[in-house]
Amino acid sequence: MKVLRRSLKPVAQTAQDEEVGTQMTYSDFDTKRLFSNLDSTLAHQRGSVAGASILVAGTTIGAGILAVPYTTQDAGFVPSSAAILGTYVFSIVTGLLLAEANINLMCELGKGGVSITSIAQATLGRTGARLSSSAYLLLHYSLLVAYTAKSGEICDSLRPLLLGGPAAGDTSSLIWSVPFCGTLAAGCYFLKPRQLDRANGVLLAAVLLSFMGLLWQTAALVNPANLVHSDWTAVPKTLPVLSLAFVYQNVVPIICSSLEGDLKRVRQSIIFGLSIPLVMFVAWNGAILGSLNVPLSGAKSDPLEMLTQQSPSVGILIQIFSLLAIATSYIGFVLGLADFLSDLLKLPSGQQNSMPFVLTVVPPFVLAAMFPDLFFKALDLAGTYGVLSLFGLLPAAAVWSRRSSNQFSAFRAVPGGKFTLLATGGIAGGIIANQLLNAVFTVLSH
């Protein structure tokens, strides 16, 4: 992707202003589009709000949704639905803060494709950049390993329905993730942005169709008594997994570059894109928790496994939905990590260089084969500390730094001033601290 910078020109400036040299404010400038995305033929490749929204929604709807019923069963449907709504708002704010820091830094550097590491470097210094880079790599590689292994497991379980024969049921099932993830990765590399948007749109439509099928199948199974259970004290325990389920912020730099720094269109993309997962998460949570034969209180078990044993036909739909959800999320994380590695290694972004894509796709296959259990156990830790530090503390700290210094900061994505920044950082820090205290208490109690 080639980028042509466009100078910011005043919308209106009188001759008297020019004579006396009146200082113009940034609100007087046409700042909707900072530059133009051009391909190799210098044709304008303008991103769309619809395509960016689909990317946000597809990235969000991933393997995290599969863990939602498991983590919310103790709290119950009503308290967990409130937690889902709160996490939705929190994710919008953190994404917009990240977009604000990203677009302002794009203006300062005069280029698109600014990664989270560059934001941390410019606002928090070298130490902040190193910490954020380490957390970013840990989080993304852990999730890609989980997606790679889980997709192989699901493909292996669905194989008897298509090809016959028993499922492998062991680590050899990973071989089935090669054609699945390999096809998705090839699409990320070879397809043009608009083609990839359309492909991602088709996958998201398939996710929604399978999801509607699940709701249809489970509607008759829902027992209202299962939705009565309520324990608000269990809500804090749901927040780390819900934060992981709402992860999309890794594609915010891509959206900012695709939409050419137009903050209004970036804001629309984030809000519209996250609204789809919000509705799905609440409906999914209610459908699964309400469809079991007994209310979920007391001993904790996996609701998806219980529902699969209770209704095999619903179990097949769950597997199909899970595989499609992994596909949309896998695309977003591959694009985000490849763009991150391009910036980290000072390599050209996009299709000019294959190395970032190789470094993104190949290690998860190797790690999933070598350590099939290690990364799954570390996934909760990566989600808790990686997500909330990278996409909770970092955006608030980066924007605070820019607004408090003399650095270029023409765009403000969220209202509320320092209160919003303090509240955002305080919520993220509070959840992390709560998890640390619970971990220490668990260790001491044993």
Instruction: Yes or no: say if 234 and 338 are a contact pair by the CB < 8 Å rule.
Output: no
Instruction: Yes or no: say if 144 and 330 are a contact pair by the CB < 8 Å rule.
Output: yes
Q: Quick one: the chain helix, strand, coil %, rounded to 5?
A: 75, 0, 25
Q: How many CB atoms lie within 10 A of CB 348?
A: 13
pLDDT tens-digit series, residues 373-397:
655 565 666 667 788 888 999 999 9
Q: Identify the three-state secondary structure at position 358.
A: helix
Determine the length of the chain.
446
Cα 71 from chain centroid? 19
Model confidence at 278: pLDDT above 90: yes
The DSSP 8-state label assigned to residue 110 in this structure reads: T
Q: For Cα atoms 330, 49, 67, give the angle at the middle one, nearest 5 degrees.
A: 35
* Predicted pLDDT of residue 95: 94
Report the pLDDT averaged over residues 265-272: 93
Percent of the chain with pLDDT over 90: 17
Nearest to 247 by CA among 137, 92, 71: 92
Model confidence at 10: pLDDT above 50: no
pLDDT tens-digit series, residues 98-124:
999 888 888 877 766 677 878 888 888
Instruction: Yes or no: say if 43 and 21 are a contact pair by the CB < 8 Å rule.
Output: no
* Predicted pLDDT of residue 4: 40
- State pTM to two decimals: 0.77
Report the pLDDT averaged over residues 248-265: 85
Nearest to 299 by CA among 21, 70, 91, 42: 70
pLDDT tens-digit series, residues 402-411:
888 765 556 7
Q: For Cα atoms 178, 184, 187, give the angle at the middle one, nearest 5 degrees.
A: 130
Q: How many CB atoms lie within 10 A of CB 275?
A: 15
All domains of the chain in start order, with CATH:
60-440 (1.20.1740.10)
What's the 3-state SS for 94-108? HHHHHHHHHHHHHHH
Ranking 101-110, 181-190, 246-255, 274-283 by mean pLDDT, the lowest is 101-110
